[in-house]
Amino acid sequence: MIYTKEVLDRETQSYYWLTVYAHDSAAVPRSSFVDVLIEVDDVNDNQPQTAQPVYHPTVSEGSREHTEVIHLQAFDHDMANGALTYDITSGNPQGFFAINRTTGSSSHLLISQTTYTGQTNTSYMTNVYRAFKDKT
């Protein structure tokens, strides 16, 4: 039986080639070699990350609907989790901003249906949730 002696991490090494030597204890020993390829399956052990921890984009007062505000880039080191999805989770009570949920590693944050006038609020802080879409 071959077994692990340490925790394996696919992001560090995705496979191991082993050569196993088998021999008997006869007076004239006989032996053979066999190669074993062990592939390390990926599990969701890493959180999605953005290129920067905080973004500070600006948008002009009176900007039209669907004006691009920021292009977010996110990634995850886990291979088997499928595409990233994005959601705005807070800071958008009036619904001024929308995000494309299905653009994978990046997304466009857009001004939504209401034109921002700058008269009542001068800045908005929004949180974007990054998560993996399950492949199943």
In a domain, 98, yes or no: yes
Which tens digits make up the pLDDT trace of 63-75?
777 788 887 778 8
Place of tokens 């053979």: 32
Which tens digits make up the pLDDT trace of 84-96?
778 888 888 888 8
The pTM (predicted TM-score) of the whole model is 0.59
In a domain, 38, yes or no: no
CA pair distance 93, 57, nearest whole angstrom = 19
For the chain, how many structural domains are there in total?
Answer: 1
The domain that holds 116 is classified in CATH as 2.60.40.60
Place of tokens 């052990």: 45
Residue type, 41: D
Q: Can you give the residue range of the structural domain that contains 76?
A: 49-132
Q: How many C-beta neighbours within 10 Å does residue 128 have?
A: 20
In a domain, 62, yes or no: yes
In a domain, 2, yes or no: no
